[in-house]
Amino acid sequence: MGENTLGDVINLLQTAWPYLLKGTGYTLLFAVSAMIGGLAVGGVVALLRLSAWRVLNWPAAIYVSCMRGTPLLVQIFIIYYGLPAIGIQFDPISAGILALSLNVGAYLSETIRGSINGVDRGQWEAAYSQGMTHMQTLRFVVWPQALRLAVPSLSNSLISLIKDTSLVSVIAVTELMLATKEVISTTFQPFPLYVTAGAIYWCLSLAFEQVQRWLEARLNRTLAR
């Protein structure tokens, strides 16, 4: 096979773009949905991990250890292929979002827990002295400061999550990676298409990095008031 000219590559990408764009849409759907789900899971698990009650603390610790200690690919297989054996079945999109949410939630819980612990203990005591309850102190005093500490790590988790969405292709979800493979199977041009897919992942990561900078600046202005 001869070398591709620039015109050949442009024609190839024009043909492939609708498929890659659709795959990118699914990638964003998985990343954003799983991040929202992961934040909800991570927030609850972090509070359980901070609880003084062992009956709440230990199950949360086991969950975090299990999710961080096993491959995401195995977790996807368990949810999509394993759970139907006990009567629980998910469609591919729901299974992918659930697996990604549970996985990233374990990492986010540690980020949130560490950020809450990173707030000076004097902040708690000052709030208590003003008559605030534990939950009021957590919500109005500690959490805004913890969020500022957590933003860089949360952003890193989201960027990693964007790349992890490629794993849901194993359960036949046509996200960006599977869409790229399908185009390659008909065009037999792996190099320009994989490079394009990589560039799309990179652009998505850069976009979320900009969101991170905006959020950090906003939080800094809010807390400086």
Q: In this structure, what CATH number is given to the domain that contains residue 98?
A: 1.10.3720.10
List of residues 6+ apart from 184 with CB closer than 8 A: 190, 193, 194
Question: How many domains in the chain?
Answer: 1
Query: DSSP class of residue 166?
Result: G
148, part of any domain: yes
Instruction: Please check whether residue 218 lies inside any domain of the structure.
Output: yes
Average pLDDT of the chain to the nearest whole number: 89
Q: Which tens digit of pLDDT belongs to each residue from 70-125?
A: 999 999 999 999 999 999 999 999 999 999 999 999 999 999 999 988 888 888 88
Task: Assess if residue 55 is contained within a domain.
Answer: yes
**Could you list the residue range(s) of the whole structural domain that residue 59 is in?**
6-224
Q: What is the pLDDT of residue 149?
A: 82
| Residue 171 lies inside a defined structural domain of this protein | yes
Question: Which stretches within the chain are classed as H helix?
Answer: 6-50, 54-69, 72-77, 92-118, 121-129, 134-137, 143-164, 176-187, 190-224
Instruction: Of 66, 65, 85, give the one whose Cα is nearest residue 74.
Output: 66
User: Is position 1 within any domain?
Assistant: no
pTM for the model: 0.87
CA torsion through residues 56, 59, 63, 64, sign: positive
Tell whether 17 is covered by a domain: yes
Report yes or no on 144 lying in a domain: yes
- Of 44-58, 78-92, 130-144, 197-211, the one with minimum mean pLDDT is 130-144
